[in-house]
Structure 1
Amino acid sequence: MESMPNPSMGRDDKLHIVMFPWLAFGHMTPFLEFFKLIAQKVKLQLPQVDKLFDNAKSTIDLPYDDVKYLKMAYDQLQQPMTQLLADMAPDWVIYDFAPY
């Protein structure tokens, strides 16, 4: 993950930010540049759940009635995300939530 200088920190210190949006383009788009940086450095594998298409990575990949399965997979990222945040120790975490 890329770091940005923080004016309140010393010159050698960097501010670390993590962003984790709900998997819908209307949620991801406002954070797109942050998301690109994170995606280049941090890989979280979306867990497979029954009835979720193998290639489904966002709400656009699914009929509305099947989005609940994406949410189930997203919820299963709790432990991997907790570990990722513990490993990265970011200064800020910007997150979004699923509206379901």
Structure 2
Amino acid sequence: MTEEEKSQQILTKKDINNAWRTWWLYAEVQSNNVVFQGLSHMLSLMDSLRKLYPDDDDYREALKRNSQFYNTEGTIGAVVNGMTLSMEEERATGENVPDEVMYSMRT
């Protein structure tokens, strides 16, 4: 990782481990026929998203974006959550990552 990439990195390993731990605990707890595991996905990312988006409006948009339809198996879902966090971090640092890319990866 270059120095420039490190300077733009917001999330720490602790943040990512916390997201994984929360997903592991809640992946199969909440599921419905509309968004399946979307709420568990959002719950696992909430703390990291707050760190990425200190502005309340941006934070709410990120929560909406990550509570949409999501259906996966409990263990492999953590990999997708990690990829989502990576894209959210890129977006928070000014990269152009469209909503459709994040949504299509989860579906």
TM-score between both structures, scaled by the size of structure 1: 0.29
Q: Does 1 or 2 have the higher relative contact order (CA < 8 Å, sep 6+)?
A: 1
Q: Which has the higher helix share?
A: 2
TM-score between both structures, scaled by the size of structure 2: 0.27
Greater CA radius of gyration, 1 or 2? Answer: 1
Q: Which has the higher strand share?
A: 1
